[in-house]
A = this chain, B = another copy of it.
Amino acid sequence: MGTSTYELRCRECGKTWGNQPRSICEDCFSPLEITYDYDSLRPRISRELFASRAPNIWRYRELLPLPAGFQPSLPVGFTPLVGAPRLGAKIGSRRLLIKNDAVCLPTLSFKDRVVAVALANARSFGFDTVACSSTGNLANSVAAQAAREGLKAWIFIPSDLEPAKILGTQVFGAELVRINGSYDHVNRLCSQIADEPLSGERGWGFVNVNLRPYYAEGSKTVGYEIAEQLGWRLPDNIVVPMAGGSLITKIKKAFDELILLGLVDPKPVKFFGAQASGCSPISTAIKQYSSEIEPQRPKTIARSLAIGNPADGHYALRAITKSGGWAEDVSDPEVVSGIQLLAEAEGIFTETAGGVTVGTARKLIQQDRILPDETTVLCITGNGLKTTDVLADQYQAETPIAPKLAEFEAYLAAKAGALPAAVAAASTAAFA
């Protein structure tokens, strides 16, 4: 490990690879991940040390793969963990909490966490251009944080993404390449580009390809924050949306590390995965008690979760089943009603992935897999302003009225059911 406290290690054969932009073991073609020298870290960290620092992900810096001398330029993360009593009453939990990454800094999704850690490493590996394949939130975050850091950004997306996610990438001056195909096609193309640098000696730092092991560690901060916000305790259950499957495995890694380092008391936590039925390779395998993940062709409004061939699906499945958890999936109408339920009950406006999480949690409670008195955290990972299109036909546009008290009285009366609004408005307008 040299002077560093972390390095790349193959998840299967265990071979170590130092620190470099690489995500696959050349020996056994398995994925690499970051491993830490926990023994050297243990005496250097404490609850008090973390709590004494500014409220953002950098407070956990010893547990992240950050190059020597790295100076963060932006606050990222440390999103609210809030009680959700009204939503709990509606879906049957008395101890429900929301981890609200719909308001994550700086671009309103949990992807800000992974991008921040990836860009710290992109810089130290010498890349002046960063890139990604994305279902939308990652695009926004790479484009914004690259702009902030003065890095060039190339973003590859499926051509049918939501307009707000496309515009919310272009505005930062990133190069946006639209691909005819699903995310899985986009991702394969990016792997090819990363392997065969086209421009310059160093090629590009693809945050979720050659920088993936560094990037993925950023997700651990969701777990650290939840534990700290619960008073350095772990919840009984956690419900996490799954696209590539990485997030749920990294929250588990965070909890395991906190136990290993003596920062929380050991305690079983059940992990529950949430998918859209139209793209449910992981939940389908779990529900069929299979350890094989069959790729799917995505067809769902939850486009940020539309990954048919999840890179970390196998590890997500294992984390869930070993914990005694489960996975479920919900239909598109259930996604929409999940968004509305959370907004109306708690004032939190989430994107489609959040609707998936809420809908799945409701289903799991109905199945008695999550019990009412257990402490249950729902991970809300993105903001509803990015996927407004799925709600557009949910609300009727009330006919505008004139700015007159009499018109408003008629409007109220019509609302109360006395008269259709138009008739009521017309009849009072005559006397206004």
- Which A residues are closer than 8 A to B by beta carbons? 55, 73-75, 80, 82, 86, 103, 105-108, 143-148, 150, 159, 163-164, 167-168, 170-173, 175-181, 185-186, 188-189, 192-193, 196, 198-199, 339-340, 343-349, 383-386, 388, 391-392, 394-395, 397-405, 408-409, 411-412, 415
Contacts and interface: CB of A to CB of B under 8 A. Distances in A.
Given A147-B343, A168-B349, 5 more contacts: A107-B347, A171-B391, A175-B415, A177-B411, A179-B403
Contacts of A105: 80, 103
A177 B403 contact: no
Nearest to A140: B349
A171 B384 contact: yes
A177 B401 contact: yes
Given A198-B412, A199-B412, A408-B193, A347 B401 contact: no
A154 B43 CA distance: 56
Contacts of A411: 177
A348 B106 contact: yes
Contacts of A402: 179-181
Q: Considering the complex of A and B, which 10 residue pairs feature the smallest CB-CB distances, nearest first?
A: A148-B347, A144-B347, A185-B403, A159-B400, A173-B344, A385-B385, A178-B400, A147-B347, A170-B395, A171-B343
A189 B404 contact: yes
A208 to B, nearest CB: 16
A112 to B, nearest CB: 10
A177 B144 contact: no
Nearest to A187: B403
Contacts of A196: 405
B168 A347 contact: no
Nearest to A82: B74
A178 B106 contact: no
15 contacts: A107-B347, A107-B349, A144-B343, A145-B347, A146-B347, A147-B346, A159-B400, A163-B388, A167-B388, A171-B349, A177-B398, A177-B401, A179-B400, A180-B403, A196-B405
A432 to B, nearest CB: 12
Contacts of A177: 398, 401, 408, 411
A150 B412 contact: no
B148 A193 contact: no
Contact of A405 (B189, B384, B395, B412): B189
Contacts of A106: 103, 347-348
A345 B384 contact: no
A385 B164 CA distance: 7
A103 B103 CA distance: 7
B395 A167 contact: yes
A383 B148 CA distance: 17
A180 B385 contact: no
A325 to B, nearest CB: 29
